[in-house]
């Protein structure tokens, strides 16, 4: 009963939220609560669908988050189709993980109570003003996003249940102080030894290669000379951005639109009420409500009486405050009495509703207002221009698609009719497509049998919401292997280098053998107290020094590694010294270990859920999102 009265007091605005609390809800898509109509799914998890609506909303939230985090650099990334595809895959996988955890929580009886949901709502920063929960901000935020109160509450309830599971997984991890010390000693470890490089230049002069060796090397490595199938195309590109540059909005039309839609910029008068609820429908409940009215008549404080008498515990905590209420959101009998109060401070008598008996007080009244034209002019112009661009772009798409179909073996008449330019590409394959065509949907058609064989115009292909193309293949080269004559010089060079490396390795191994035999070896450069972060030595030498096992007593530990320039290096490890422990960073190191262990446990938990579950991802790579 108490929850019903509180929900009723806010049902006209409680819609759900994601935009302002996207970080709180991460990628939790809750759009599925908008409607009961079946929605296309992007994945199915143990028989439960993740809908397209959920995915689209989560994708937009993640885009907004990355744009806020990366700034202008995000705009550059967003033009890369591979980046967008990775982002889409990340989002759908995150949603799958959320669904798996949600199901695990439900199957194991984990849930969030109504009180926990209410407290979580109060704690969301987006709903707070000056550090306090503000119901007006809460109402406006939710209303702007168009969700039902049930959808928001259910989404938050699931989020809290998931949190219980994840907290149980990650909060049980810990790191001992001794582990942090061991890590510091390992990270700060120092190693000593020696090295000697073997440049290939001195060995190349000793190398001879025969025609038979060249042929054999080519045959064994022919995959290195594979040439993927490639095409040349002509295409026309449609861009809504180019259309926008040519559209201007008449000032008079803007003014007329404002006047014609003035109601959209008017806010009705608002009334704020407090109430005291006495539940029940008998004489005892009525008498108790009358007792409240009598005490108010004697000068008692309304807020104090609400805390003492009201059965609506949620509002009683705030002196009975229900915040601002609009007509049509409460019980009709409640509203009739409430809106009959004329002046701030007026108090009703006992009001009977289906919830019980109320005493109502008008606590605030705000007159309606009209947003001036000057404040919304730019917004109206932007909206009108956006609508005109969308319409013009749509009409251009329709015209291009029609003409490309009617004249299927050429694009020039299409371009002439619509005022576009026919562009011709150089040879490209699936990995080297020009930016205008570098999209899975375009490449699928370009390298599909229909366009390759018939050489006709493609359908209109939407690259994204504002760009599309029609393309026609003009020439085609099948996948092939470059002939030996074409790559002979490269083959000879590779073969010579391999033989030179073999000679160098033989010399390096001979030096190692001499070291192990106890013989004196010259031309070794000493390495003393080298740490992992050393930047003065070639990286391959440092890496080899720290990859080798510590030498046993009286033994020689050495290895041969390849350098970035193709040469080789002999690296000998003679001693290992534990690194120093920095007491100042000891606590930080321990916390980092705990976080690392928690992340590993979380990933293992999700991996186990995926292995045990039935997950099918149906998201297509050719979507325009």
pLDDT digits (tens, 9 = 90+) for 5-25: 333 333 222 223 333 333 334
For residues 146-156, give the mean pLDDT.
Answer: 68
Identify the CA nearest to 111 among candidates 180, 170, 165.
165
Confidence of residue 72 (pLDDT cuts 50, 70, 90): confident
Cα Rg, the chain, nearest whole Å: 36
- 46 falls within a domain: yes
Same domain for 150 and 64? yes
Left (φ > 0), alpha (ψ -120 to 50) or beta: where does 130 sit?
A: left
| Lowest mean pLDDT, pick from 35-44, 366-375, 466-475 | 35-44
Measured CA to CA, the distance from residue 63 to residue 40 in angstroms comes to: 21
pLDDT at 487 over 70: yes
Measured CA to CA, the distance from residue 525 to residue 369 in angstroms comes to: 84
Measured CA to CA, the distance from residue 217 to residue 237 in angstroms comes to: 46
Same domain for 501 and 468? no
For residues 75-100, give the mean pLDDT.
Answer: 85
For residues 135 and 524, the model is more confident at: 524
Report pLDDT for 77.
79
Same domain for 314 and 218? no
pLDDT at 216 over 90: yes
Same domain for 388 and 363? no
Give the single-character DSSP code of 479. -
Measured CA to CA, the distance from residue 154 to residue 106 in angstroms comes to: 13
Left (φ > 0), alpha (ψ -120 to 50) or beta: where does 146 sit?
A: left
Write the pLDDT tens digit of every residue in 558-576: 999 999 999 999 999 999 9
pLDDT at 75 over 80: no
Same domain for 434 and 312? no
Give the single-character DSSP code of 246. T
Decide: 161 and 106 in contact? Cβ < 8 Å.
yes
- 214 falls within a domain: yes
For residues 625 and 548, the model is more confident at: 548
DSSP class per residue in 482-523: --HHHHHHHHHHHHHHHHHHHHHHHHHHHHHHHHHTT----S
Report pLDDT for 547.
95
- 599 falls within a domain: no
Write the pLDDT tens digit of every residue in 282-298: 999 999 999 999 999 99
pLDDT at 135 over 80: no
Left (φ > 0), alpha (ψ -120 to 50) or beta: where does 131 sit?
A: left
Write the pLDDT tens digit of every residue in 398-407: 999 999 999 9
For residues 162-174, give the mean pLDDT.
Answer: 84
DSSP class per residue in 422-447: -EE---B-TTS--GGG-SHHHHHHHT
- 210 falls within a domain: yes
Give percent helix, percent strand, percent coil of the chain, each to the nearest 5.
Answer: 50, 20, 30
Report pLDDT for 144.
65
For residues 30-56, give the mean pLDDT.
Answer: 71
pLDDT at 303 over 50: yes
Instruction: Collapse the DSSP code of 188 into the 3-class scheme (helix H, G, I; strand E, B; otherwise coil) and give the result.
Output: coil
For residues 49-73, give the mean pLDDT.
Answer: 87
Residue 247 tokens read as 């559209």
Q: Where are the beta strands (DSSP E) in 22-163?
A: 41-45, 48-51, 128-129, 132-133
Per-chain mean pLDDT for the chain: 86
In the sheet with 230-239, reading across from the earlier edge strand, the strands are 423-424, 230-239, 467-477, 461-462
Same domain for 147 and 60? yes
Same domain for 571 and 521? yes
Report pLDDT for 305.
92
Report pLDDT for 489.
95
Structural domain ending residue among the three candidates 439, 461, 478: 478
Same domain for 383 and 240? yes
Report pLDDT for 6.
35
Decide: 152 and 14 in contact? Cβ < 8 Å.
yes
For residues 625 and 442, the model is more confident at: 442
Identify the CA nearest to 359 among candidates 304, 313, 308, 302.
302
Report pLDDT for 455.
94
Same domain for 298 and 315? yes
Report pLDDT for 358.
93
Same domain for 58 and 156? yes
For residues 359-367, give the mean pLDDT.
Answer: 90
DSSP class per residue in 247-287: ----HHHHHHHHHHTGGGGEE--EEEEEEEEE--SSHHHHH
Give percent of the chain above pLDDT 90.
Answer: 51
Host domain of residue 58: 41-172
For residues 28 and 469, the model is more confident at: 469
Structural domain ending residue among the three candidates 429, 457, 478: 478
pLDDT at 31 over 50: no
pLDDT at 362 over 90: yes
Residue 314 tokens read as 């949620």
Measured CA to CA, the distance from residue 179 to residue 104 in angstroms comes to: 32
Confidence of residue 173 (pLDDT cuts 50, 70, 90): confident
| Lowest mean pLDDT, pick from 72-81, 221-230, 346-355, 554-563 | 72-81
Identify the CA nearest to 191 among candidates 584, 531, 587.
531
Instruction: Give the residue ranges of DSSP H helices in 112-210.
Output: 114-123, 135-143, 149-170, 177-187, 201-204
Report pLDDT for 327.
80
For residues 191 and 265, the model is more confident at: 191
Decide: 10 and 153 in contact? Cβ < 8 Å.
no
Give the single-character DSSP code of 532. T
Confidence of residue 29 (pLDDT cuts 50, 70, 90): very low
Q: The domain spanning residue 302 has which CATH number?
A: 3.10.50.40
Write the pLDDT tens digit of every residue in 419-431: 999 999 999 999 9
For residues 100-108, give the mean pLDDT.
Answer: 90
469 membership: H or E segment, kind and range: strand 467-477
- 523 falls within a domain: yes
Our count of domains for the chain comes to 5
- 330 falls within a domain: yes
Structural domain ending residue among the three candidates 330, 347, 367: 367
Decide: 440 and 237 in contact? Cβ < 8 Å.
no
Report pLDDT for 15.
29
Measured CA to CA, the distance from residue 323 to residue 343 in angstroms comes to: 16
Instruction: Collapse the DSSP code of 569 into the 3-class scheme (helix H, G, I; strand E, B; otherwise coil) and give the result.
Output: strand
Confidence of residue 149 (pLDDT cuts 50, 70, 90): low
pLDDT at 61 over 90: no
- 519 falls within a domain: yes
Give percent of the chain above pLDDT 70.
Answer: 90
Decide: 302 and 274 in contact? Cβ < 8 Å.
yes
- 114 falls within a domain: yes
Same domain for 53 and 165? yes
| Lowest mean pLDDT, pick from 94-103, 139-148, 433-442 | 139-148
Same domain for 99 and 65? yes
Write the pLDDT tens digit of every residue in 501-545: 999 999 999 999 999 999 989 899 999 999 999 999 999 999 999
**Number of C-beta neighbours around residue 361 at 10 A:** 24
Confidence of residue 198 (pLDDT cuts 50, 70, 90): very high
Confidence of residue 143 (pLDDT cuts 50, 70, 90): low
pLDDT at 625 over 70: no
């Amino acid at each position: 009963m108490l929850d019903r009265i509180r929900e009723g007091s806010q049902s006209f605005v409680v819609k759900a939220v994601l935009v302002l609390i996207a970080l709180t809800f991460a990628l939790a898509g809750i759009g599925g609560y908008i409607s009961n109509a079946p929605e296309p799914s992007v994945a199915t998890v143990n028989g439960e669908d993740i809908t397209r609506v959920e995915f689209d909303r989560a994708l937009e939230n993640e885009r907004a988050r990355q744009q806020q985090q990366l700034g202008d650099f995000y705009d550059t990334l967003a033009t890369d189709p591979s980046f967008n595809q990775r982002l889409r895959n990340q989002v759908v996988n995150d949603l799958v993980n959320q669904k798996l955890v949600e199901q695990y929580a439900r199957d194991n009886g984990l849930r969030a109570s109504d009180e926990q949901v209410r407290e979580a709502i109060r704690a969301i920063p987006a709903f707070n003003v000056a550090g306090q929960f503000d119901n007006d901000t809460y109402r406006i935020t939710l209303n702007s996003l168009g969700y039902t109160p049930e959808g928001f509450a259910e989404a938050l309830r699931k989020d809290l249940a998931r949190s219980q599971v994840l907290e149980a997984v990650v909060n049980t991890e810990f790191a001992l102080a001794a582990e942090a010390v061991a890590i510091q000693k390992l990270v700060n470890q120092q190693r000593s030894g020696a090295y000697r490089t073997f440049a290939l230049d001195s060995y190349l002069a000793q190398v001879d290669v025969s025609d038979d060796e060249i042929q054999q090397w080519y045959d064994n490595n022919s995959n290195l000379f594979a040439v993927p199938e490639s095409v040349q195309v002509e295409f026309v590109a449609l861009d809504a951005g180019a259309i926008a540059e040519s559209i201007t909005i008449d000032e008079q039309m803007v003014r007329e639109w404002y006047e014609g839609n003035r109601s959209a910029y008017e806010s009705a008068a608002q009334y704020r009420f407090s109430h005291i609820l006495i539940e029940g429908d008998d004489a005892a409940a009525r008498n108790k409500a009358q007792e409240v009215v009598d005490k108010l008549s004697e000068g008692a404080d309304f807020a104090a009486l609400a805390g003492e008498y009201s059965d609506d515990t949620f509002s009683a905590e705030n002196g009975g405050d229900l915040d601002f209420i609009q007509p049509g959101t409460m019980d009709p009998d409640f509203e009739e009495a409430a809106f009959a109060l004329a002046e701030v401070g007026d108090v009703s008598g006992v009001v009977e509703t289906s919830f019980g008996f109320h005493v109502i007080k008008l606590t605030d009244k705000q007159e309606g207002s009209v947003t001036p034209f000057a404040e919304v002019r730019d917004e109206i112009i932007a909206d009108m221009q956006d609508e005109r661009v969308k319409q013009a772009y749509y009409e251009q798409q329709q015209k291009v698609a029609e003409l490309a179909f009617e004249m299927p073996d050429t694009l020039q008449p299409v371009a002439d009719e619509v005022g576009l330019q026919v562009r011709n590409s150089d040879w490209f394959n699936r990995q080297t497509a020009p930016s205008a065509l570098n999209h899975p949907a375009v490449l699928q058609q370009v390298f599909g049998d229909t366009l390759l064989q018939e050489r006709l115009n493609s359908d209109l292909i939407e690259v994204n919401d504002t760009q599309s193309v029609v393309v026609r293949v003009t020439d085609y080269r099948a996948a092939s292997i470059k002939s030996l004559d074409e790559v002979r010089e490269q083959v000879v060079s590779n073969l010579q280098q391999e033989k030179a490396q073999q000679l160098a390795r033989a010399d390096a191994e001979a030096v190692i053998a001499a070291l192990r035999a106890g013989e004196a070896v010259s031309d070794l450069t000493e390495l003393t107290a080298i740490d992992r972060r050393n930047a003065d030595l070639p990286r391959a030498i440092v890496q080899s020094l720290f990859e080798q096992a510590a030498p046993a007593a009286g033994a020689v530990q050495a290895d041969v590694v390849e350098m970035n320039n193709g040469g080789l290096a002999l690296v000998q490890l003679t001693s290992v010294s534990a690194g120093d422990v920095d007491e100042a960073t000891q606590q930080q190191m321990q916390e980092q270990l705990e976080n690392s262990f928690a992340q590993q446990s979380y990933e293992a938990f999700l991996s186990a859920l995926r292995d045990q579950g039935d997950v099918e991802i149906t998201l297509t790579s050719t979507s325009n999102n």
